[in-house]
Amino acid sequence: MGNLALDRVESSVVETAKAEDVPAIKPMVNAAYSKYIERLGKLPAAMTADYDKLVETQSLYVLRVGSNVVGSILLSRDDDSIKVNNLVVDPSAQGRGYSRVLMDHAEDMARAQGLAAVTLFTNEKMHENITLYTKIVTAHPPPLRRKRISRQ
């Protein structure tokens, strides 16, 4: 008998987001980031992003399990790294290793472009994100350097 959590991760796929994915991305982002509104005193940047435009102009990817979008990651190229601008997993799907799958994709993109780092971009008041990123880095020592910067 297999490990159900591992089976879910293995049956997932990361692919470039399409316009038809936006209706799944927006509510997922709102559900995941709404807890930060009071702490930040404003809407988090992820909640104000124009996902229709990002699908066309940025490196926006979705994580699918079957036909369901359960996560998304927005990447861009920084000077010497791939920058993770936003990583989100649907709150109902958290705790199953999907953040790690999305981070692995960012690392793969960095390697493919000959870059030696993945930059994690989060607001310093989003303690949960910093904890998650630290946990991922600690549990899976990366072949790439990782650095964290904060959005004010």
- Contact present, 76 and 43 (Cβ < 8 Å): no
The residue that leads in pLDDT, 145 or 21, is 21
Residue 151: other Cβ atoms inside 10 A: 13
Domain containing 128: what range?
Answer: 4-151
**The pairing of beta strand 82-89 with beta strand 117-123:** parallel
Per-residue pLDDT reduced to its tens digit, 91-117: 999 888 898 899 889 988 988 998 878
- Residue 121: strand, helix, or coil: strand
Q: How confident is the model at residue 21 (pLDDT cuts 50, 70, 90)?
A: very high
* Average pLDDT of span 128-148: 58
CATH of the domain at 114: 3.40.630.30
By the 10 Å C-beta count (0-12 exposed, 13-18 middle, 19+ buried), 125 is classed as: middle
82: tokens are 């791939």
- Whether 119 contacts 142, CB under 8 Å: no
pTM: 0.81
pLDDT at 138 over 80: no
